[in-house]
Every structure is written in structure tokens, then in C-alpha cells.
Amino acid sequence: MADDPIHQHITACAARTDAETTDLTARILDAHWPGGTDRSEPAALGWVRRWRPGKSEATLTACSCPATHCLVCN
């Protein structure tokens, strides 16, 4: 199991210090969230007001696992 990439990833994440986690989070925000904070873009607000997603015709079945909230249904 130690050769499993997911296991290796979880082990590496668990070994991070708080400072390393803070640094990684800052680097991800800088690279992928320009401006660094949550905000509203005025040009996008009008689009969001006009946009309406289509209705789904799918009928979801009830979760039948013993816990009633499995990872598939949750």
C-alpha cells in the first residue's frame, strides 16, 4: 500500500508543518486566484443574474448504504 500514489500523497501532506501549509496555500492562491481574495466582478454580476441553468430531468435514487450518506450519494 505504501507504493500507492494516493497513500504517498496523504503521507506527505500529513508531514507538512503549519508554516509549509501556509506557504503552499499562499502559492496556490497567487498562481490561481489573481487578486488573492474573494470578490465580485461587476461585469460578471449581470451575466449571473441573466443566466439560468437548465432543469435536470434525472431522478436520483435514495442512498441504500447502511450509513445513508455514502461517498457516492453524498
Does position 73 have pLDDT exceeding 70, yes or no?
no
Contacts of 74 (CB under 8 A, 6+ apart): 63
How much is the pLDDT for 49? Answer: 83
- At 74, list the grid cell: 453524498
Contact 7, 1 (CB under 8 A): yes
CA separation for the pair 39, 33 (Å, rounded): 11
Bin 48: left if φ > 0, else alpha if -120 < ψ < 50, else beta.
Answer: alpha
pTM higher than 0.75, yes or no? Answer: no
Does position 23 have pLDDT exceeding 90, yes or no?
yes
Does position 8 have pLDDT exceeding 80, yes or no?
yes
How much is the pLDDT for 1? Answer: 60
Q: Which pLDDT tens digit goes with each residue over 35-63?
A: 767 777 788 888 888 887 777 777 777 77
CA separation for the pair 10, 21 (Å, rounded): 13
